[in-house]
Amino acid sequence: MKKNILLGVCGGVAAYKSAELVRLLQREGFEVRVMMTAAAARFVGPLTFQALSGHPVATNLLDADQESAMGHIRLARWPDQILIAPATAHFMARIAHGLADDILSAVCLAARVPIRLAPAMNTAMWLNPATQSNRQVLESRGIRLLGPGQGELACGESGEGRMLDPDEIIDRLRETFQTGPLQGQSALVTAGPTREPLDPVRFISNRSSGKMGYALAEALRSAGASVTLVSGPVALPAPPGVELIRVETALQMRDAVMARISQAPPGLFVACAAVADYRPEHAASGKIKKTDANMTLSLTRNPDILTEVAALPPGSRPFCVGFAAETEDIRRLGEEKRRCKGVDLLAANLVGGPQGGFEDNNNALTLLWADGQAELPMMPKRELAAALVSFIEERFFACNPSS
């Protein structure tokens, strides 16, 4: 299947490499359209990109001719992904702040598809705390950075900041367009713990490391799905090819999940996060002071994200996979959770023991669905995730024969 990619070119010397990138993307089977900033058009003429891509190049947000040919909203809806190469420090700052004052930033703001940036700038500009903080903001919103690489820079210095070569960019993109049984499906996965603040420096949380959920996101990606991972605070890097949205509390996780579903309902929802069932009724604005008296915490219920998603009406309800973390009797308690939360497939695991469950690299699962069950024995979480995804595929296609 041909995929559409929208290449955005910012104003930097590395813009000359983007012409080669168009050719390599086409060789990979992409249909390519190009948009350029005004500064980019001073480095390489739009005609070059028009001739290479076979399409007019979008350069202007407020040009009536361009808007009538393909307005910025239609342009934002056209691609399966957006690649900005080179991405300058200035461009990163603009999209980190949600500006939409030129064609590239307006399209990025209006797009609902994965966005990748290949930064290119002087080392000092890249390492500047302002750029690093913009990078963090962008990554926390699921925008992936490809590079920058190390090497000689146009300014004569050598260091970090060089735009990756076109073939390196293609290698990174390949990871995001794998084929597999779930190709064309999208999956939303939750992972890790949530933190429920007591005051600015303390919180209630649990032992989830995110290993199981991140392994699942990777396994779904390897099976061809396009994956969004909503993750609580963990010490794991973003899995390759997966859009990562970082959150902290259960309420933030719920909002991120529901926002993503209302934008574009996924085919699959896999709830692996260990979401706090309760949060402190009041989070103090300053550090709570120690006194001689005992302290009683008043907790209030958090929304149950999985139950809420599983209760969505047909059309926006994904195929729902839930987990159950239990310290005993996992089959009976897991079956209760499956019914009570209304999920299509439930994976129950034993937690709190010497092996498996939270934090460990290994785990075992008991799988429960309406008319069957299966055991996946103790194994590394990555292998277990691949085995669970095979089950998910089977159950998903049994329930959605036309998918």
Can you give the binding site for ligand PMT, defined by CB under 6 A? 190, 208-213, 250, 271-275, 277, 302, 304-306, 322-325, 337, 349, 351, 357-359
Q: Which of 72, 57, 55 is nearest to 111 (CA)?
A: 72
Q: Among residues 105 and 208, whose Cβ is nearest to ligand PMT?
A: 208
Enzyme catalytic residues? 155
Least separation in angstroms between CB 303 and ligand PMT: 6
User: At its nearest, how many Å lie between ligand PMT and the CB of residue 196?
Assistant: 11
Beta strand segments in 92-208, E: 115-119, 144-145, 149-152, 158-162, 186-191, 196-199, 202-204
Gyration radius (Cα) of the chain, Å: 23
Shortest CB 370 distance to ligand PMT, Å: 17
Q: CB pairs under 8 A, 24+ apart, for 107-112? A: 107/6, 107/8, 107/35, 107/58, 107/72, 107/75, 107/76, 107/82, 108/8, 108/76, 108/82, 108/84, 110/72, 110/73, 110/76, 110/77, 111/76, 111/77, 111/79, 111/82, 112/76, 112/77, 112/263, 112/264
Q: Which is nearer to ligand PMT, 173 or 189 (CB)?
A: 189
56 DSSP 8-state letter: P
Minimum distance, C-beta of residue 284 to ligand PMT, in the bound complex (Å): 23
158 vs 300, which CB is nearer to ligand PMT?
Answer: 300
Q: Which is nearer to ligand PMT, 29 or 353 (CB)?
A: 353
